[in-house]
Amino acid sequence: MSIVLKTENLNRFLGEGENRVHALRDVSLQAEAGKTHAIVGHSGSGKSTLLYLLGLLDRPDSGTIEIEGKATAALTDDQRTQMRSQSLGFVFQFHFLIKEFSALENITIPMKKLGRWSEKEMRERGMGLLQDVGLEDKAARLGNHLSGGEQQRVAIARALANDPAILLADEPTGNLDHKNADRVFDLLSKISHERGNAFIMVSHNPELAQRCDVVFPMEDGFLKG
């Protein structure tokens, strides 16, 4: 299996002055395609901060991040955005669907930006993704007319829209009940294994974390083990 994400000695400080906190301390990790990875730790351990750095939503104060073999440190804001569009998919604790758009439209929004497919191909691809998450019959429903679990499944389909090499999830089941949480995790795990995406999940749920192929325990900004 190939390494699609690699970090070396990542450091990140948050806050200013007296409130300045060393949130990440020399974090180095690798993620492999087709494997599921869990970053676990208590609240404030720096796991979400690490995920945002991996997702190019934030910049490290020092250290390097390579995505699919490309260094990201010197990239401009637009180049980082382009890389997010091509190589990264996000699932957040809150689904963040755009409520004015239907489930299918929410999935095609990232595809339209990437511009890789025709309108017809985007629709077909979107319907295929909805079928994968079991919501093909709710394609025309607006985002806010779906249940919490359904919204999160649409968010997963949207994260997979551009066929990213890396799927990042920040507490994807944190806002769901036990049954829906299991269902969403199983779905993410299955998709990742089938499609060959590297799945990296931040969670403080040790049960779910143990079901991942690789676990990165974090404490006080350090990656342990």
Partner 1 sequence: MNTNFQIALRFLLSRKRAMLMSLGGIVFGVGFFIITQAQTSGFEQFFIKTILGVNGMARIEDRFQSTMRSMQAEKGSNFRVSLEDSVKYISGVEFPQQIMEAVHHFPDVTAAAPVIRGSAMLVANFKEQDCKPYGIDSQQHFLVSDLDEQVIYGSIEAFQKNPYGVLVGERLARRMKLMPNDTLLLQAQGKSSRYRVAGVFETGIEQVDKERIYLHLSAARTLLERPTGASFIQINLNDPQKAPEFSARLEPVISHSVMSWQRREKTWLQVFYVLRISSALTVSTIILISGLGMFNTLVMIIIDKTREIAILRSMGYTRSDITQIFMLQGLMVLFAGIILGWAFAASTTYGLSKLPIRIRGIFATDSFIVNWELSHYLWAAAIATVIVGIAAYFPARRAARLEPGDVIRGSST
Site residues (vs partner 1, CB under 8 A): 48-49, 52, 55, 57-58, 77-78, 81-82, 84-86, 88, 90, 92-94, 96, 98-101, 109-110, 112-114, 158, 162, 170-171, 174
Backbone angles phi, psi at 6, to 5 degrees: -145, 130
Nearest Cα neighbor of 205 from 180, 184, 179, 181 is 181
Nearest Cα neighbor of 222 from 55, 72, 41 is 41
Antiparallel, parallel or unpaired: β 198-203 and 36-40: parallel
- Cα(121)–Cα(112) distance, integer angstroms: 11
Torsion sign over Cα 6, 33, 114, 99: negative
Q: Give first-to-last CA distance, the chain, whole Å.
A: 22
What residue spans of 119-175 are helical by DSSP H? 119-132, 148-159
Q: Which residues contact 95 (CB under 8 A, 6 or more apart)?
A: 143, 148, 151, 152, 154, 155
Residue 47 vs 138, nearer CB to partner 1? 47
Min CB(1)–partner 1 separation in Å:
26
